[in-house]
Amino acid sequence: MVVHPWLPNSPENIKKKMLKTIGVISLEEIFKDILEGARFKGDWNKLGIGLGKPLSEIEIRKFVEKLFSKNKVFMNPPVFLGGGSWPHYVPSVVKYIMSRAEFYTAYTPYQPEISQGLMQALFEYQSMMADLLEMEIVNSSMYDWASAAAES
């Protein structure tokens, strides 16, 4: 079965249905407006991209950083922060999720020092922990490290 590199899990009949849905007969028809001389006609697998297998987001990032490391650039300065504040990998989908309106709404009237977005995040955390631990109730009363230290 011949498969397209960007639709690796789609059998031929599914791809034909997708093409029919957008009103074209073949994949090449999608790119017909691109000048013939500007089209890539080589083998994508011989470009050295992807290392011969699909890569996760963090694997791609490490691969690109390895390429960038050949340059004389100071990318990782020493970190002197504590309490969990240091550079760490955050998947790009987190930015999308955190930009949802329920995470950055206005302050709540009953507790003005904490935003509704943090309350939503705590609720999501409690819900997931309850599912993970198979418990009906999960407490999450600590808003930050300072509150947790004061209460302990």
Domain encompassing residue 114: 93-141
Decide if 52 is inside a domain: yes
- pTM (two decimals): 0.28
Instruction: State the Cα torsion 137-143-149-150 to the nearest 10°.
Output: -100
Does residue 105 lie within any of the structural domains?
yes
Q: Give yes or no for a contact between 79 and 87, defined as CB atoms under 8 angstroms apart.
A: yes
- Write out pLDDT tens, residues 79-136: 676 666 777 788 888 888 888 776 665 555 556 566 667 777 788 888 888 888 898 8
Residue with tokens 């009953």, as numbered in its chain: 110
Question: Is residue 63 domain-shared with residue 20, that is, in the same domain?
Answer: yes
Residue type, 85: S
51 or 85, higher pLDDT: 85
How many domains in the chain?
2
Task: Supply 114's token pair.
Answer: 């904490």
- Residue 1 pLDDT greater than 50, yes or no: no
Same domain? 21 vs 62: yes
**46 and 52 in contact (C-beta within 8 Å)?**
no
Q: Give the model confidence (pLDDT) of 61-82 as tens digits.
A: 888 888 888 877 555 667 676 6
More confident residue, 128 or 1: 128
151 located within any domain:
no
What was the pLDDT predicted at 23?
92
Co-location of 17 and 64 in the same domain? yes
Over the chain, what is the mean pLDDT? 74
What is the per-residue DSSP string for the chain? ---BTTBTT--HHHHHHHHHHTT-SSHHHHTTTS-GGGS--S-GGGGT-STTS---HHHHHHHHHHHHTTS-----------TT-S-----THHHHHHTSGGGS-PBPTT-TTSBHHHHHHHHHHHHHHHHHHT-S-------SHHHHHHH-
pLDDT of 114 reads: 62
Do 62 and 97 have their domain in common? no
